[in-house]
Each structure stands twice: as C-alpha cells, then as structure tokens.
Amino acid sequence: MSNNILTVDTKGLSKIMSRNGINWIATELIQNAWDQNVSEVDMTVESVGHGKGKIVITDDDPEGFLDLTHAYTLFAESTKKGDPTLRGRFNLGEKLVIAYCIETGGEVEILTTTGGFHFSKKDGRKKLRRKTDAGSKVTAVFRAARDSLQAVEDHLRSFIAPSAFPTLVNGERLAKKVLVTSIEATLPTVDVNEDGDLYRTSRKTSVEIYKPETDETPMIYEMGIPVVENPTPYHINVGQKVPLNMERDAVTPAYNRKLCALVANLTRDDLSEEEVRKPWVSEAMESDDIEEETVAEVLDKKHGKKRLMHDPSNPESSAAAVAAGYAVVYGGSWSKKAHENIRELAPIRPATSKFKDASVAFSEHGKNVTIDVSKWSSDMRKVAEYTQWLHLQVWDRIIDVQWLNDPRSYSACYGDGIAFNKRRLGAKWIEAVVFSDKGFEKYLDIVIHEFSHRLAESHYSDKFHDEMSRIGAKIAMIIAEHGTPLSPRDKDAPECRNWGK
C-alpha cells in the first residue's frame, strides 16, 4: 500500500499560478534570497529565444540551503515559518516555480553548498553532483514573451531592497525610494506555537512610509516585497509577515483600517482638503488606532473650524447655523464608528448649542397664556381686525387672531391662526402700529414673516424666502389700493375707522 496521501497535479498548479502573469516567479525567488544570511543578491532576467525566458538568482549565504530536500517537498516544515521577520511561510515558493517551469516546457536547476537538483518534464527530478562553494544559485527557464519579461524586470524595480546589502537586477542596483517617515507599531502577524502550528498574533514592528513614483500604485509591502494594493497615497512597508490569505492577494478589512489610521496619524499635517474626502481617510477615522490630533485635523480640513453637529430633533438650528456660515456635520457625513471616535476624541458641539430653534412649541398640558378678548385694549382689537382682513386679502382665508402673555422671547407665531405675544411686543409697540408709519412698518415686517409660514415652515428654505417676497409684493399692492389704516392722532379727530372696512 502506498504511503502517498496526496498527488499534486503540476499542470493544474501551473495554470493557477499563471492567471496573474509571471511576476510572482521573481518575487518567490528574490524573497527567499533576501531571507538568507547574505551580503549581496544578484538576479538576471532575460529572453533566451523561442518564446522562453530565464531568471537566474544567486546569493552568497555561506551555508546555502539548510535542507536541500525542501526544494521539492511541498509544505515541508519551514525553518522560518514561525519567524515573523522572514518572508517565507509555507515552504511553497520554489515548488510553484518548478511546477510552472516544467509545465511550460522549461526547467529549473538549484545548486547550493550541499549539492543540487535539476527538474524537467523529460527527466523529472535529477540529483546533481555539482555544488557551490558558497551561497545558492537558482536557474529557472519557462515560457514567456519578451514584454512579459520586461514586466518582470519593472516589477522588481518597484521592490524596496534591504539596506543591509545590495540587490542587483540585470547588473543595476535597485534604487532607493523616498522615505517619508517611519515608526514602530503593533500590528497583526503570523507566528508559530509549541506544536509548530501557525496562528495569528500581534507584535511590534517597524513601519516605513514611502512616496510612490508618479506611475506607481500604492502598495502594502512585506519587508520590501509588494503584496497588496492599499488605498492611501503612500507605499507602506511592514517589517514583518503581513497576514495574507493563501493566494497572498488580500488583507482583512481590520488590518487595512489599522494601516490607514497609521498613515493618517503620521501624515496628518500634509493632508489636503481634497485628500480628507477620500475613502481611506474615512476608514482611518473608523479605527481604534486613530489619534485625537488626527481626528481634529481631518475635521478641520473637511468641515472647517466653524463646525457644528446636526441635531435631527431640531433641524431649524442646523439651517440657522448654515445661514451664519457654519459647516453642519450630518449623520451621513461619517460612519457610525467614525462618529463614535469623533464624539470621544474631538467632539463637535450640536447646532442647538449656538442656534436655538425659532419655532414655538405649545402643549395642551402647558399653561394657558391666552389673553381673553374681554381684556383686549382698543388698539389690540384694531390690530387683530386688520390682521384678519389682511390675511383674507393675501390668502383668501379668514384666520383667528390671538393675543398672548407668554414669557418666552418670540414676538408672534403662526399655526391654525396667528398669535401676537403682548408680553414680548409691549403696549407701546401696539400703540405705534395704530398711530405711526414707523410702527405700522414694524407690524408689516412681522405679519409678512408669519404669513409666509403658511406654505413654508423653515426660516432658511428657499420656499420661505420666495413666499416672503411674494407676500410683501401682494401687500404693497393692497396698500396701494386701500391705503394704510392710520388716522390722525388728534384727540378731536374722528375715531379711527374700523380696520378692514
């Protein structure tokens, strides 16, 4: 009975790996070399004719491969899988390269200090008697067009090479990128337990922020290797294993939020008004790692320093704030989690704290402040009668008019009818309405405002201002036709005519 449990279809495996091009071949080879005890790594990428390419990578690690059988044993126990500061994890990279090369008519040769192997479709796995004096050399030949090989070289040029030793690609040293800033941060990674099993954990590591070239896509780097795009405008180089999925093409949303918050914290002084409106900043604002100073800076850039929070129970105060030049932050401006961080780290005062609602609330259970008609003065009665008549001319509708003795600060209000607050207006105001042009002008200012509320509740809506303009013009026409209801104030003059007659 065979002890083989699994059979790997190299043809199928090579098809899976070729779905996203061949850049991964160079990535797998160079990351293994970088993880060795080396003083230099040299890689060449070239076309060898007939639609084939060749990659050769050499290093000078004195020990070479510790176990040469790892070159062909799938998922062998990697000596570095539990070290978060090394790039390899599943001892899989060389096997993927071998599978792709032999299934595309190519070959792979691995030489190290303890010997070597040659892999091809024709001869299978063949042990070599040759060996290196120091370090290792991997030669991979595979199907590739010239433009694909150029893409591989361009891909390698995007790497962030370790500063401890030079890395050469086709004879040229990988150029250094522009470092913006760096920091130590605690980030999730992969470690190994006592039983040799991988598990997720968190540890402190270095994080470097680089400025991408004009034509570069911002990436998350794992110790210099670009692994996943990131939404910020920077390259993020993490100095330990990045917790990726098996295909190494995605991180979790939580990890992405952490990195977004980290970048926002480090670059907050450089955030522009345009940048703070981008999705990555919204993600950063949702993170538990976002800092108080960053939240304040983002709010300043997005909403300005004159900002207030909308109160859904009092929308009129928000409208008043906007009219006064304030930015109002509404519920939809940020996610629920971001709003929580804003409230905790840089709270925004509600609009009602600065602008009171201009509307007047009445309750059937409240105190009755209505002044009985029997207690109205002659002037109060005249104002009420004229108001009824004027409303009829404007709206073709008779309404009730009341006088109130309300300690609150409003002058009048409009609902089923119109109510004047005598406590606020005072007896002199009422007398002036009846006997002076200036008083009558102040009266018209109030009634035009209140009449406009019949079709528009908010003081700050376009509809309300349109109604005020229309009603003002209408009343001007009424006065032109009927005149003002004022009479001489001489005590011997006839009594003031009944307004509206």
Residues 49-91 have pLDDT tens digits of 889 999 999 999 887 766 666 555 444 444 555 566 665 554 5
The residue among 252, 270, 287 that closes a domain is 287
Q: For residue 441, what pLDDT is reported? A: 93
Instruction: Decide if 165 contacts 175 (C-beta within 8 A).
Output: no
User: Do residues 127 and 200 both lie within one domain?
Assistant: no
pLDDT score of 15? 56
What per-residue confidence (pLDDT) applies to 457? Answer: 77
Beta bridge partners of 191: 199
Q: Answer yes or no: is 308 within a domain.
A: no
- In the chain, which stretches have pLDDT less than 50? 1-2, 5-7, 73-78, 90, 487-501
The pLDDT value recorded for residue 39 is 92
Q: Give yes or no: residues 245 and 392 share one domain.
A: no
What does the pLDDT read at residue 279? 96
Q: Is 202 found in the same domain as 55?
A: no
Q: Residue 416's pLDDT is what?
A: 80
Write down which residue in 259, 287, 315 finishes a domain.
287
For position 10, what pLDDT does the model report? Answer: 56
| Strands, E assignment, 40-164 | 41-49, 52-59, 107-112, 115-120, 124-128, 137-143
Count of the separate structural domains present in the chain? 3
Q: Based on the domain organization, do 449 and 405 belong to the same domain?
A: yes
39: CATH: 3.30.565.10
Helix-strand-coil split of the chain, %, nearest 5:
40, 20, 40
Q: Are 134 and 231 in the same domain?
A: no
146 and 18: one domain? yes
Is 396 within a domain? yes
In-domain check, residue 164: yes
pLDDT digits (tens, 9 = 90+) for 422-474: 999 999 999 999 989 899 999 999 999 999 988 887 777 888 889 999 999 99
Whether 168 and 205 share a structural domain:
no
- What was the pLDDT predicted at 99? 87
* 48 and 159 belong to one structural domain: yes
Contact (CB, 8 A) for 473 and 436? no
Computed from CA positions of residues 238, 239, 243, 248, in that sequence, does the dihedral angle turn out positive or negative? positive
Residues listed for the chain: 501
Q: Where are the alpha helices (DSSP H) in 158-309?
A: 253-267, 279-285, 292-303
Q: Is the pTM of this model over 0.85?
A: no
**Residue 79 within any structural domain of the chain:** yes
**28 lies in the same domain as 165:** yes
The domain that contains 468 carries what CATH number? 3.30.2010
Instruction: Say if 333 falls within a structural domain.
Output: no
Which range marks the domain in which residue 27 is found?
A: 10-174
Helix (H) or strand (E) holding 27: helix 23-34
Residue 362 has what pLDDT? 62
Q: What is the tens place of the pLDDT at every residue in 384-427?
A: 999 999 999 999 998 999 999 998 888 998 888 899 999 999 99
